[in-house]
């Protein structure tokens, strides 16, 4: 497809990596198993990149991104590109670059992986760089240059994408053994020459522009950090041997950093103009625009799946045309965060399908907007009319408005969101009812989702087995999981969740107002992909969702079996949420639906009910000023879900893989009786943070990192447990893995849980005398 080179052009910052059939996942996991060679893996990756660029060019984009592709994570790729390999991984990387790369991501039996946490306020996980005063950076441009040359050889106009040096350092942590107060940003002067080498190598390979992603600039930054940003663009901008630089921010408004970018001696700035970042429009006008620069305007939401309001975007773009020398159009951020193609959803109502735009559709929207600006809106009049009709259809649909749900939300009171008894009174009642030992052991909820379970689920969907046969197969699995946990010596059991495809999707499929996709896969981390459901309308629970599974599991044992639910904030965060009402309103609807389930679980005899909220931290707004309002409705929604139970019913919650320091008061406001959190990779850091914040309830900091295939020894788990005891009294400390065991295989699960249980016994004996 040819597109005029004059006037506004279309581009994107990145594209989904996995392939429509998740070919990358299958190839990588085959490589790990030894059934796919390194050459075959690289060939699959090259074909996927070619397909992506072909799709983007075919949609009408005139400049495609390179370097956004990754075998595991783009931050890990940056660590390799700047040579910041942790000491414990250097031998593996030197022996085999690909195996060493995966060792940093996943660990080995002998070497722990890098820590993993959430990428800003998304559900994507990145590998945290480990840096220290002795870190030596070395440029390794091979990947960036190789992928650029691939695209150029195929005839594409390509723009390499690099994670910017400031964001890289701000995302990093002190390496193990380095003083906790070490600031990686102090390494900036050491890192900038390496970026200069990367830029020079890309220019030599044919790059006209290079995109430096600096999303950290949309967070509240100190004057010193803004000065560091100034230095980044001053020093890189002053280089004689470099391509033109496009500094990209996204996810929120640039704020004070906008002044830095406007004055920087670089040629382009990319800004987000969706959601809270719409404030960039007024900020940019107030700052006098970007004279002499290229502006790439992110007016198509790259994080949600609703169609763009094209006329609204054209109005925004018309204003922006007067604020920069050149305005090009893009999605607001990388399209990594959305599925590939809405046209693959064959089972959706055709009218509803017209409300959706995945990566391919968003690329087409970007190209259409660019065409409308270049050639006049009359040239796209039919598309604008169809867009207006689709937006009106969604706004007036009975799916989006249920009067009964709205009336129930309006009738809730402050008392509905608070337990009738304070925690000390509840703790006494729960200990009397449960009679658990010191340092009670449990798991987070899920057990391995084996091939047999996935086959049974596929057979049910395909009609090869009926519901009765599927039920029998799942009950057999529950029985085996209960028997294993009793044999292993766990104190509080779970039913293992064999019937659940995903911790959000499973519930979404049973709630009104949600839509499910069949091909809407999105990368969460590495080869872990999820299919976020679409929260399209008002939410209610027609019938119980988990009660019969809980009742069956409890009938198999005398030990308590936890009821397991996903909390309201996570139900929002891990869905594509509706954008036509405040998030807090949607959260209350979900909370009331879940409250019905909690009440029914308690009535069925559940003494322990866990409501997981792993997304509470990740959904935290990036700007401090917006956080109190978010945390108020988020914690209220959790309490609205859980506050209706008796004093002797123990409420657990779970969070994982996030930086918890910013939300410690909110964790207290949840008023859960027990919280379990990721702690193994972060060396019990969170246990000390909770204690320093005065957290008064029971805590289960993880002693087993489930995101790595390595099996912890008993002594390793015991050492972590002792570290937890240095912060939390034994009577308030639980012993559990970091997260659910769904992605692990049974052999490593058994070995790891046995280490966990034995560690608890060892430490109990130490405490006893």
The catalytic residues are 707
- To which H or E segment does residue 200 belong? helix 188-204
Q: Which two tokens stand for residue 63?
A: 């400049």
Distance separating alpha carbons of residues 578 and 570, to the nearest angstrom: 14
C-alpha distances out from residue 632 to 196, 219, 617, 639, Å? 45, 20, 13, 11
Q: Quote the strand ranges of 488-577, DSSP E.
A: 512-515, 522-525, 528-530, 534-540, 563-566
Q: DSSP secondary structure string, 129-146?
A: PEE-TT-------HHHHH
Distance separating alpha carbons of residues 632 and 610, to the nearest angstrom: 21
> Pick from 575, 641, 534, 677: which is nearest to 117 by CA?
677
Instruction: Give me the long-range contacts of 396-400 (CB less than 8 A, separation at least 24).
Output: 397/351, 397/352, 397/537, 399/352, 399/513, 399/536, 399/537, 400/536, 400/537, 400/538, 400/578, 400/580
- Provide the 10 A C-beta neighbour count for residue 149: 15
Distance separating alpha carbons of residues 571 and 619, to the nearest angstrom: 11
Distance separating alpha carbons of residues 700 and 718, to the nearest angstrom: 14
Pairing mode of beta strands 522-525, 528-530:
antiparallel
Q: Are 675 and 667 in contact (CB under 8 A)?
A: yes
> Pick from 471, 473, 474, 495: which is nearest to 483 by CA?
495
**Side-chain-side CA neighbours of residue 138 (13 Å):** 8
Helix 583-603 to helix 403-411 angle (10° resolution) is: 80
Q: Which two tokens stand for residue 277?
A: 């970042």
């Amino acid at each position: 497809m040819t597109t005029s080179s004059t006037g506004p052009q279309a581009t994107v910052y990145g594209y989904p990596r996995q392939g429509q059939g998740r070919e990358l996942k299958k190839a990588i996991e085959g490589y790990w198993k030894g059934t796919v060679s390194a050459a075959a893996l690289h060939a699959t990756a090259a074909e996927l990149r070619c397909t992506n660029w072909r799709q983007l060019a075919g949609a009408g984009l005139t400049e495609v991104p390179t370097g956004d592709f990754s075998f595991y994570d783009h931050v890990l790729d940056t660590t390799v590109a700047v040579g910041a390999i942790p000491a414990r991984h250097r031998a593996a990387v030197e022996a085999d670059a690909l195996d060493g790369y995966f060792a940093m991501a996943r660990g080995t039996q002998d070497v722990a992986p890098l820590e993993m946490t959430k990428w800003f306020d998304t559900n994507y996980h990145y590998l945290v760089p480990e840096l220290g005063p002795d870190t030596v950076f070395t440029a390794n441009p091979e990947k960036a240059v190789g992928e650029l040359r691939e695209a150029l050889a195929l005839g594409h106009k390509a723009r390499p994408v690099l994670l910017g040096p400031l964001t890289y350092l701000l995302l990093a942590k002190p390496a193990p053994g380095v003083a906790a107060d070490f600031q990686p940003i102090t390494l900036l002067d050491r890192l900038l020459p390496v970026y200069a080498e990367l830029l020079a190598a890309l220019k030599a390979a044919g790059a006209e522009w290079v995109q430096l992603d600096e999303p950290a600039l949309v967070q509240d930054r100190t004057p010193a950090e803004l000065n560091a940003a100034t230095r980044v663009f001053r020093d890189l901008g002053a280089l004689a041997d470099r391509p033109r630089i496009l500094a990209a921010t996204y996810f929120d408004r640039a704020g004070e950093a906008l002044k830095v970018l406007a004055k920087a001696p670089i040629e382009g700035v990319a800004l987000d103009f969706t959601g809270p970042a719409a404030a960039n429009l007024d900020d940019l006008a107030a700052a006098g625009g970007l004279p002499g620069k290229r502006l790439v305007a992110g007016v198509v939401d790259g994080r949600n799946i609703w169609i763009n309001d094209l006329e609204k975007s054209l109005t925004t773009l018309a204003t922006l045309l007067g604020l920069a020398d050149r305005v090009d159009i893009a999605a607001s951020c990388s399209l990594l965060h959305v599925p590939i193609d809405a046209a693959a959803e064959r089972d959706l109502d055709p009218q509803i399908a017209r409300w959706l735009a995945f990566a391919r559709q968003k690329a087409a929207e970007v190209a259409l907007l660019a065409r409308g600006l270049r050639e006049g809106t009359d040239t796209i009049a039919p598309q604008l009319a169809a867009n207006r009709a689709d937006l009106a259809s969604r706004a007036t649909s009975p799916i989006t408005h249920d009067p009964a749900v709205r009336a129930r939300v309006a009738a809730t009171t402050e008392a509905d969101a608070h337990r009738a008894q304070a925690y000390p009174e509840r703790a006494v009642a729960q200990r009397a009812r449960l009679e658990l030992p010191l340092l009670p052991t449990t798991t987070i909820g899920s057990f391995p989702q084996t091939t047999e379970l996935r086959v049974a689920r596929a057979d049910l969907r395909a009609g090869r087995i009926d519901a009765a046969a599927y039920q029998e197969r799942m009950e057999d699995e529950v029985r085996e999981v209960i028997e294993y946990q009793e044999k292993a010596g766990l104190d509080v059991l779970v039913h293992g969740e064999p019937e659940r495809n995903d911790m959000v999707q499973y519930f979404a499929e049973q709630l009104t107002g949600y839509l499910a996709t069949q091909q809407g896969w999105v990368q969460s981390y590495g080869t872990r992909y999820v299919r976020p459901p679409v929260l399209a309308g008002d939410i209610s629970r027609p019938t119980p969702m988990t009660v019969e599974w809980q009742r069956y599991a409890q009938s198999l044992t005398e030990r308590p079996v936890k009821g397991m639910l996903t909390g309201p904030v996570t139900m929002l965060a891990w869905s594509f949420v509706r954008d036509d009402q405040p998030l807090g309103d949607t959260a209350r609807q979900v909370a009331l639906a879940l409250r019905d389930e909690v009440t029914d679980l308690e009535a069925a005899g559940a003494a322990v009910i866990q409501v997981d909220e792993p997304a509470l931290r990740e959904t935290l707004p990036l700007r401090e000023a917006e956080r109190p309002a978010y945390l108020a409705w988020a914690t209220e929604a959790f309490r609205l879900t859980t506050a209706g139970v008796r004093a002797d019913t123990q409420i657990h919650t779970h969070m994982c893989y996030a930086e918890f320091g910013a939300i410690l008061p909110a964790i207290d406001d949840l008023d859960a009786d027990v919280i379990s959190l990721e702690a193994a990779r972060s060396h019990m850091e969170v246990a000390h943070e909770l204690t320093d914040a005065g957290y008064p309830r029971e805590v289960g900091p993880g002693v087993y990192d489930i995101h790595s295939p390595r099996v912890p020894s008993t002594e390793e788990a015991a050492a972590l447990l002792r570290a937890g005891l240095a912060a939390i009294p034994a009577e308030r400390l639980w012993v559990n893995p970091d997260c659910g065991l769904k992605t692990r295989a049974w052999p490593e699960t058994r070995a790891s849980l046995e280490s966990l249980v034995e560690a608890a016994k060892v430490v109990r004996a130490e405490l006893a005398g």
